[in-house]
Amino acid sequence: MPKYKLEYIWLDGYQPVANLRSKTQIKEFASFPKLEELPWWGFDGSSTQQAPGDKSDCMLKPVAVYPDSTRKNGVLVMCEVYNSDKTTPHISNTRAGIPDDADAWFGFEQEYFLYQDGRPLGFPDNGYPAPQGPYYTGVGYKNVGDIARQIVEEHLDICLDAGINHEGINAEVAKGQWEFQIFGKGSKNCADQVWVARYILLRLCEKYGIDVEWHCKPLGKDADWNGSGMHCNFSTKHLREVGGEAYFKALMGAFEKYCNEHIAVYGPDNHMRLTGLHETMSIDQFGWGVADRGKSIRVPHSFVANGYKGYLEDRRPNSQGDPYAIAGRVLKTIATVPTA
């Protein structure tokens, strides 16, 4: 039987942003393993800020599995962290408790910077490159450099090989900044894919001597350079099939009411990014607008044209946000609005 390389991936206990961790175990399977066939595993939680040294065991529960085309017989295994009783989710486990619904669809637009020598890829040793303008969806060496597109393309292929549902990629507004979009049905399913895509990107960049900077405003609050978001596009069955202006207005009322709860899980340092400039709305306001990229929630033209049916875009989540917590919060708020 072939020996498979099972890469168990999990989120550690660092605050405010968890890091991805992983380690490999080798196991024999007759063919590519199914999720049910993958055993629980453990790790030393005292090295990941997940346990004290004298009770260091944390448990890994496989929750999603993807082929890894970069390794012979490679398998990527996304895991949740449990306490040693294998029953109670570890306090750092943000996936276990979120609402889920296979009819709730999510599209995350993950923005990020590629970094080398402490600055965005393509920035000169000192100072700044030419101002923003030509970089967004740009082409040509002076706009996107030489290595970045290679990384972005390789990342796309590895993700597609893994069955991750990329819907697109593009160069972003700042130099060295890129985006990928992932669509998935169900909060956990979509968020798992985002985390694994992040993992694949980090690992891929190792061989280039490049890091991924996920911070939402790595060049500072006041720099005239865009920050990084992770817009959360969402729709429920009701929004897609019934919708209506009254329901939409009630939904926006709920998003306004729970504004603070949303911001709390939309990623750290978001006050640096949600300033009212650079295609954002100020962090202490809530507003929606049709095709308006300066609002918290952008309503696509098609949504209104179709009788207030379709999907909405929450533009507030940032690039460092936890997609489990973000999708979970969106579903919690939606659940407060009656559909009758």
Footprint of Mn ion on this chain (CB under 5 A)? 109, 179, 231
Cβ-proximal residue to ligand ADP, closest one: 107
Q: Are 267 and 230 in contact (CB under 8 A)?
A: yes
For ligand ADP, give the closer residue by CB, 7 or 109: 109
What is the closest distance, in whole angstroms, from the C-beta atom of residue 210 to ligand ADP in the complex?
A: 23
For ligand ADP, give the closer residue by CB, 166 or 271: 166
For ligand ADP, give the closer residue by CB, 29 or 136: 136
DSSP codes of every residue in 187-238: HHHHHHHHHHHHHHHHHHHHTTT-EEE--S-TT-SSSSS---BEEEEEE-HH
Instruction: Round to whole Å and give the CA distance between 11 and 16.
Output: 12
Strand extents, DSSP E, 97-176:
105-116, 119-120, 166-171
> Using CB distances below 5 to 8 A depending on partner kind, what does residue 233 bind out of Mn ion, ligand ADP, none?
ligand ADP
> Using CB distances below 5 to 8 A depending on partner kind, what does residue 192 bind out of Mn ion, ligand ADP, none?
none
For ligand ADP, give the closer residue by CB, 81 or 190: 190
What is the closest distance, in whole angstroms, from the C-beta atom of residue 331 to ligand ADP in the complex?
A: 12
For ligand ADP, give the closer residue by CB, 48 or 270: 270
Instruction: Round to whole Å and give the CA distance between 230 and 336.
Output: 24
What is the closest distance, in whole angstroms, from the C-beta atom of residue 108 to ligand ADP in the complex?
A: 6
Return the SS3 of 251: helix
> Using CB distances below 5 to 8 A depending on partner kind, what does residue 314 bind out of ligand ADP, Mn ion, none?
none
> Using CB distances below 5 to 8 A depending on partner kind, what does residue 105 bind out of Mn ion, ligand ADP, none?
ligand ADP
User: Which residues are bridge partners to 64 per DSSP?
Assistant: 78
What is the closest distance, in whole angstroms, from the C-beta atom of residue 21 to Mn ion in the complex?
A: 28
Q: CB atoms < 10 A from the CB of 100, how many?
A: 15
Instruction: Round to whole Å and give the CA distance between 305 and 246.
Output: 15
> Using CB distances below 5 to 8 A depending on partner kind, what does residue 267 bind out of Mn ion, ligand ADP, none?
none
What is the closest distance, in whole angstroms, from the C-beta atom of residue 239 to ligand ADP in the complex?
A: 8
Return the SS3 of 288: strand
What is the closest distance, in whole angstroms, from the C-beta atom of residue 293 to ligand ADP in the complex?
A: 8
Rg for the chain, CA atoms, rounded: 20
What is the closest distance, in whole angstroms, from the C-beta atom of residue 117 to ligand ADP in the complex?
A: 29
For Mn ion, give the closer residue by CB, 68 or 109: 109
Q: What does the block give as tokens for 52?
A: 């004290």
For Mn ion, give the closer residue by CB, 96 or 223: 223
Phi, psi of 182, deg, nearest 5:
-125, 130
By the 10 Å C-beta count (0-12 exposed, 13-18 middle, 19+ buried), 164 is classed as buried
Binding site for ligand ADP (CB under 6 A): 105-107, 109, 167-168, 181, 183, 231, 233-235, 311, 313
Phi, psi of 136, deg, nearest 5:
-60, 120
What is the closest distance, in whole angstroms, from the C-beta atom of residue 66 to Mn ion in the complex?
A: 23
For Mn ion, give the closer residue by CB, 256 or 279: 279
